[in-house]
Copies of this chain bind each other. A is one copy, B any other.
Amino acid sequence: MLQISQRGVALPPSPYRKLTPFAEAARQRGLTVHPLNIGQPDIETPPAMLAAVQRASIQVLEYSPTAGYPSYRHKLAEYYQRLGLPVEADDIIVTTGGSEAISFALLSCLNPGDEFIVPEPFYGPYSAFAVATGTHVVPVTALLEDNFALPPIAEFERKITPRTKAILICSPNNPTGYVYSRQELEQLKELCLRHKLYLLSDEAYREFCYDTAYTSALHLQGADEHIVLLDTISKRYSSCGARIGAIVTKNRALREVFFKLAQLRVSPPGLGQLLAEAAADLPETYFDHTKTEYLARRDLMLRRLRAMPGTRVPTPSGAFYVICHLPVDDADRFAQWLLEEFSYHGQTLMISPASGFYATPGLGRQQVRLAYVVNQGVINQAMDCLEAALQQYPGRQE
């Protein structure tokens, strides 16, 4: 018989997908389903960025250079420099979304069978990237009781084996919203220097920090060869569909490998790069507006969640997610019940059970991730639903 590859079989499906048919069925029954389950912001893509594409005079939509248009790489370097990061255009390879940056990093830093350590809960697809690249995720558990702060470095040390090649972090974090402090990042840097590990830093949510100063991995000194920044414009400029990201490192040998991988797909999307380049001309206040909006949403969601008996929810300092403990037997079951059996004034909500963000089996069973990517009116409606649902749910458990 024709066979599917073992890695193909082993690839986990997206945790988001499991609930999709139930949501579709609920919508077909006429319910409004509030989508708190995914990180697709409702924030307008800056019209000036779209206009740059729409105004462009293009005769032939050619391959861009493999590393991206030089003009865009220069403007992106300037963006990083404004944040105090020592990035030159040559340090940047423009990628097809942040996802390509993750692939490039794992393929270049790890051999098949090698391991990378990630604080859990983590962005679910990291596990699938590991399968696709023949590598292994090794989790170190961050606790809701600690606001999902960096677990003690001793726990990382305990997980290090001869096959460990990298630590992968995400700050501000998806799914927890935690923002690593300078001190936490310095500890990680020391660990990576001591054990000769790469520090892969996913900074997709960099611009969304609310109560805390932001530190990038590239702010750290003396570890240039170790640090790889994984980036994307998807969330920063509400441009998820552009598929423009970047992989940034001062490590020249590593960059050369990224470049060879980039040659395989010839070039990143051309139209998306035109859009991304126009971000350089946004007013300095652009992020203030979006941050003010997200902050108001976050505070509203926290206030509403905390008013529900039996919930426990840390205050996330960044990104646009909260992880919330719910008084339910099993969040997967609860999420499906919300779509299949519950409604409140013709509405229900879609949530992400947190089990999909943990590698350790059994963890996160009573936790859900909620994204505050919808406006405050919708958040209020969704919280009304959740409040009623928690009262009615037969599997309620304190």
Interface set of A (CB-CB < 8 Å, partner B): 1-9, 11-14, 17, 40-45, 50, 53-56, 58-64, 96-97, 99-100, 103, 107-112, 114, 125, 128-129, 132, 134, 165, 196-198, 225-226, 234, 238-243, 251, 253-254, 257, 260-261, 263-272, 275
Contacts and interface: CB of A to CB of B under 8 A. Distances in A.
B62 A44 contact: no
Contact of A134 (B4, B12, B41, B112): B112
Contacts of A6: 111
Contact of A4 (B58, B108, B266, B275): B108
Nearest to A64: B241
Contacts of A59: 44-45
Contact of A3 (B14, B165, B238): B165
A272 B269 CA distance: 8
A196 to B, nearest CB: 5
Contacts of A44: 59-60
Residue of A1, A197, A238, A263 with most chain B CB atoms under a 10 A cut-off? A263
Contacts of A56: 54
Contacts of A63: 40, 234, 240-241
Question: Which 8 pairs of residues, A with B, have the shortest CB-CB distance?
Answer: A241-B270, A8-B257, A271-B271, A99-B265, A269-B269, A61-B241, A11-B260, A14-B263
A240 B269 contact: no
Contact of A266 (B225, B226, B240, B260): B240
A59 B5 CA distance: 41
Given A8-B108, A50-B58, A253-B4, A243 B263 contact: no
B272 A111 contact: no
Contacts of A241: 61-64, 267, 269-271
Given A7-B111, A54-B53, A260-B11, A266 B99 contact: yes
Contact of A45 (B9, B60, B251, B265): B60
A272 B240 CA distance: 13
Nearest to A109: B5
